[in-house]
Each structure stands twice: as C-alpha cells, then as structure tokens.
Amino acid sequence: MSTSGRAFKFGDNIDTDVIIPARYLSTADPEILAKYCMIDIDDTFAGKVQKGDIMIGGRNFGCGSSREHAPIAIKGAGVSCVIAETFARIFYRNAFNIGLPIIECAEAARKIADGDEIRVDFESGKIENITKGETYQAQPLPPFMRDIIDGGGLIASIKKSRGEA
C-alpha cells in the first residue's frame, strides 16, 4: 500500500484547535469539517489541498484537545498521510482508529519542503521525495498498531476479532 501527493508543510506544536477550531464542532461530518481544516493557521489550505496530498508537521503534531474531529477533518480534506517529527499521543491513536495513516520520521519532516512531490510506502516505511530525489526511512509500525490498520480501523478490527467481518 502506498500513496503519493504534494506536501503541505506546517510547523511545531500544531494543535487540534488550529486543525479544526471548536466553533465548527457542532458536527462530525467529514465533508463539513474538511472545509474548515487548518483555517486558523492557513485559510487557503482547504481550497488548495487535493485528494492524496500529504501533510507535514514538526514536533508534537496534533497536541491539545482529544477531538477526533481533527484527524477526521484532515482525512476529509483528502490528505492521504501525515508525516511529522513526533505526534501528540491522543492524535496518534485517533488517526489510527479512524484509518488516517500517519508516520513519525524526523528526517522527512525536516527535509521535505512545502510543495514537494512525495511518495510513501506504508509497508516498508520508505518515504520518497520525488522533487528533491531523496529517500527517508521511517520506523515500521509496532505490530499492535499494524493489526488495527490491517483490520481497517479500531471498530472494524473489533468486528473482525468477533468473527463478524
């Protein structure tokens, strides 16, 4: 499984309040949330992002509130993967649980520039920067997390474990 797209780069400590401000939390509809994704930090993002594009963050991406609306908004906007130096822990589990692939890779997070063409291979953890001709290697996912992803998210994996899938 792999994905490719254009990079949208953000900084350190991107909090869930800027990913999706609370004033839009009267719904959890991905299409509506997607329209306001990142609005408080870049109000042009929702208009520019294309299906498959890749979001890049620095340290502690997704800190703050536990709102699952944050990864839902990012996924709803068409982003196929988030790469960051590190992720805040609630965001990390929420992203997996809703099926938004995220990868921790400090080198990639630092070297990828806004607008670079990126290809990510989830199985090998290899991140290719097509624009710059560079390759970065991320840590493979812990087996426990891979089981959730392979199962299609947390709810699907529970159904599977009950023999209902």
Partner 1 sequence: MSTQAKQPMTMTQKILAAHAGKDFVAPGEFIQAKLDLVLGNDITAPPAIKEFTKLGQPAVFDNKRIALVPDHFTPNKDIQSAEQCRQMRVFAHDQSIENYFEIGEMGIEHALLPEKGLVVPGDVVIGADSHTCTYGALGAFSTGIGSTDMAAGMATGLCWFRVPEAIQFVLKGKLSEHVSGKDVILHIIGKIGVDGARYQSMEFVGEGVASLTMDDRFTIANMAIEAGAKNGIFPVDERTKAYLENRGKRPSVIFEADQDAVYAQVIEIDLAAIRPTVSFPHSPDNTRTIDEIERMEQEKGAITIDQVVIGSCTNGRLDDLRIAARYLKGKKVAKGVRVIIFPATQKIYLDALREGLIEIFIEAGAIVSTPTCGPCLGGHMGILAKGERAVATTNRNFVGRMGHTESEIYLASPAVAAASAVAGKIANPERA
Residues that bind partner 1 (CB under 8 A): 13, 15, 17-18, 21-23, 25-28, 40-41, 59-60, 63-69, 71-72, 86, 88-90, 93-94, 97-98, 142, 144, 153-155, 158-159, 164
What 3-state DSSP class applies to 81? strand
- Smallest gap from Cβ 105 to partner 1, in A, equals 16
Task: Give the angle 7-108-31 at the CA atoms, nearest 5°.
Answer: 35
- Smallest gap from Cβ 9 to partner 1, in A, equals 17
* Euclidean distance between CA atoms 25 and 4, whole angstroms: 30
- Smallest gap from Cβ 102 to partner 1, in A, equals 13
Closer of 94 and 129 to partner 1 (Cβ): 94
User: If we measure between CA atoms, which residue out of 90, 87, 115, 116 comes closest to residue 103?
Assistant: 87
